A and B are shown apart, each in its own frame.
Chain A
Amino acid sequence: MSASPAHPSPLHLAVALDGTGWHPAAWREPQARPRDLLTAGYWTDLVTEAERGLLDFVTLEDGLALQSSHRTEPDHRTDQVRGRLDAVLIAARVAPLTRHIGLVPTVVATHTEPFHVSKAIATLDYVSTGRAGLRVRVSRRRHEAEHFGRRAIPRLDAGNPDTPAARELTADLFAEAADYVDVVRRLWDSWEDDAEIRDVATGRFIDRDKLHYIDFEGRHFSVKGPSITPRPPQGQPVITALAHQGVPYRLVGGSTDIGYVTPHGTRQAETIVAEIRAAQAAAGRADEPLHVFGDLVVFLDDEPGAAASRRERLDGLAGYPYTSDAKVFTGTPGHLADLLLEWQRAGLSGFRLRPGVIGHDLEAITRGLVPELQRRGAFRTTYEADTLRGLLGLARPANRYATV
């Protein structure tokens, strides 16, 4: 690798943690620790390793049903990882044992309460002293809806995801998610930072003029506020979402701090970034910082060809070739660094890497890719901030309700 001058804007790197890794046969690998999946020690070890690699944050996948290889239905498979713990609780469990890395659990907006989630993420921000984020997703799965019994999700044609019914459902769920994020954010601002006064002379614990009703009324829910939890250390924890097309791009452009996107090439990365910037401008947020991260599944080995043959071997164990919504990269850390820097020039400010096999590819990221990027001046060599917003170059926002 040739040395190149220090990069103008260093990359941001996150890792997406899901079970033993993103390949369905990852759990069969000797380093996989599948029996530890339900223990605190497993998750602490992974996040500690990610922090050792100076990553910006980890995301934790979650869902309100058993995992399934099928888009919309349960698959009743017994040969892949099934069963998981609540992602917010995992993040909270790991928070006191880490110091710098951001913690971004997944939350399903479709079936949960924005009031509960707002205070949960605010509290994650307190227990991590300013390192909380949230990845919001929707659920189109009928069987997940049946776990709640509160709303009916129409049966969709799995073979054709682009029917009018599917489009209508998607638009509705994402509109609700945008309302949900709006409520979560308003609740975070529903206490001004200096609302707690402890004024012994007047006996007042708070200045109630600095607490605010949010009085949100939407199609799916109304929320009065204020939150029961004071404004979190970051003011606004970081909100993120994964998006593959126009409707979710509008959620990213209108409501989030980071959008994860799935380009398969440089040109496509440029196109997607342009679409998101347009959605951002249309939402009146053109002057606000918004990161666009590329999602990649990664299989990394130092030996050229080794990652590809590892993926093939895992495909054999799984019984079918692994495919993903995101580009699947197999190769060396050096080649991945080349690709990330090329895509960065296409407008992406960071990447969320999904390790094919966590037991192997997480360390390949932290001990292989990261030093490679550092050599090229493209990644931090020490944590430069104490909060997740700080690591991402996002200022602590003013409170929308504050009058001064």
Chain B
Amino acid sequence: MSKPLKQIHLAAHFPGVNNTTVWSDPEAGSHIEFSSFAHFARTAERAKFDFLFLAEGLRLREQGGKIYDLDVVGRPDTFTVLSALAAVTDRLGLTGTINSTFNEPYEVARQFASLDHLSGGRAAWNVVTSWDAFTGENFRRGGFLPQEERYSRAKEFLATATELFDSWSGEEFVADQAAGTFLADARSGAFAHQGQHFDIAGQFNVPRSPQGRPVIFQAGDSDEGREFAAAGADAIFGRQGTLKEGQAFYTDVKSRLARHGRTPDQLLILPAATFVLGDTDAEAQELAHEVRRKQVSGATAIKHLEFVWNRDLSAYDPDGPLPDIDPDPGEHTIARGRAQVRMYRDPLAVAREWRELAEANKWSIRDLVIETGNRQTFIGSPATVAETINSLVQADAADGFILVPHITPGGLDTFADTVVPLLQERGVFRTEYEGTTLRDHLGLAHPGTEAHRDRAAS
């Protein structure tokens, strides 16, 4: 007997503030106006996607001490946009990236519980951490969190928020007009948390929401991040788009679950993926190359090289050879406010490798950045892309994908119209939403009130 076909999960990542997003295209619309978000969300819902995903960064990026101006700059507030999107969609999950360093559990828990109520059970939280003093300059707490404490704060933040979500069992809010009893229990929402990062107590003021708790996402790739996800997340948002990488990551993360008393179906693996579609595979390859050239202008190529060199390279010609000076191996100071700079742990080695590649292939700086940068994850005709996605999921390289289009807001439209029907024909993607909540779409159990009873009993 063959293994039953896995159902694919699909999500839509609103195009972000990095060079993946091609703002120079005549089709590119606003990244701020609500009409763009509404268009994007409606397309995702029309295609029966599981959820929409919003990223977040709490300080504008800088390079060489100046605000970075080559990519899309600026975005709206996550909670506010998601709540407004709940008004123009019925079933689509609404996932927001919210930082655990520059927020407080009581406030974030009430925002997510409120979003879950106002969307009828469609809220999800991508928990991210940061420690940098650079971002901290916008907040009360400043930037004094040591890097090694970011996961410990994140873990405690999530644990505390969970205590707040679970502080109502769902049975207290009776509103019995005849009897005059509004709450069944005067201690509704009572909580007390004492820990290294938070020492708070009182009563949570949002009664239990339709999903009990929002669905929890974790985006970290590191060992600590994987462990954090295995311990308590419902889905992990990775970056592995190939079969081998995906399978390795999938096996590693799923194997960690048992140690936390969880089963493999309790954590979904949903890598981010970019795509370019064409009528034929050859046309898609050509288009993909064009998109890459739009994503990496000469100016962008120089800036990208600066991440590695950690120096001002503005005097170099992007169409000329790579710099012969070596990267500055000191503390990374050239680019601030982006995660990407941490990708290059050994810049001298990277520079050496890139110089060799450029010489061997006669690449200019811009050619090199285009050729070595992230290629689109899926390139091909709709049939090819549908087949690729399905085979990756069936081969346990992923449980589905979070698609990142490069055009706002229409970049998902063609995928919705051409790839999704092919997946539906194969019987691996829903043709209608079966449930109403995001947990229903993702096949995750609704947390019962046991946690509440356990806590009450302890």
The chain A residues found within 8 Å of chain B, CB to CB, are 27-30, 32, 34-35, 37-40, 44, 63-67, 74, 76-86, 88-90, 92-97, 111-113, 115-116, 119-120, 122-124, 126-127, 129, 143-144, 146-150, 191, 196, 198, 200, 202-208, 211, 220-226, 228-230, 317
Contact = CB atoms under 8 A, between A and B. Distances in A.
A63 B204 CA distance: 11
Given A126-B33, A147-B202, A229-B77, A200 B69 contact: no
B111 to A, nearest CB: 5
B180 interface: yes
Given A34-B182, A120-B77, A111 B207 contact: no
B118 A198 contact: no
Interface stretch (B149-157, B184-192, B246-254, B276-284): B184-192
B186 A129 contact: no
B80 A88 contact: yes
A229 to B, nearest CB: 5
Nearest to B187: A76
Contact of B83 (A74, A92, A126): A92
Contact of B110 (A29, A86, A120, A205): A86
Contact of B71 (A94, A144, A205): A205
Nearest to A183: B138
Contact of B70 (A37, A63, A64, A204): A204
A144 B298 CA distance: 53
B323 interface: no
For A88, A92, A94, A224, the residue with the greatest tally of chain B CB atoms inside 10 Å of its CB is A92
A387 to B, nearest CB: 15
B75 interface: yes
Interface residues of B, number: 76
B60 interface: yes
Contacts of B456: none
18 contacts: A29-B177, A63-B205, A79-B180, A79-B181, A83-B173, A85-B117, A85-B206, A86-B111, A89-B79, A96-B87, A111-B107, A122-B77, A147-B201, A148-B106, A149-B199, A196-B73, A222-B142, A229-B74
A37 B139 CA distance: 33
A89 B69 contact: no
B59 interface: yes
Contacts of A94: 87
B79 A205 contact: no
Contacts of A200: 24
Contacts of B104: 111, 148, 150
Contact of B73 (A35, A92, A96, A206): A206
Given A89-B115, A122-B77, A115 B186 contact: no
B103 interface: yes
A126 B32 contact: yes
Contacts of B33: 126
A65 B203 contact: yes
B84 A113 contact: no
Q: Which 5 pairs show the lowest CB-CB distances between chains A and B?
A: A224-B137, A123-B80, A92-B83, A127-B84, A34-B175
A80 B73 contact: no
Contact of B58 (A86, A115, A149): A115
Contacts of A229: 32, 74-77
Given A39-B117, A64-B106, A76-B186, A84 B76 contact: no
B182 A78 contact: yes
B49 interface: no
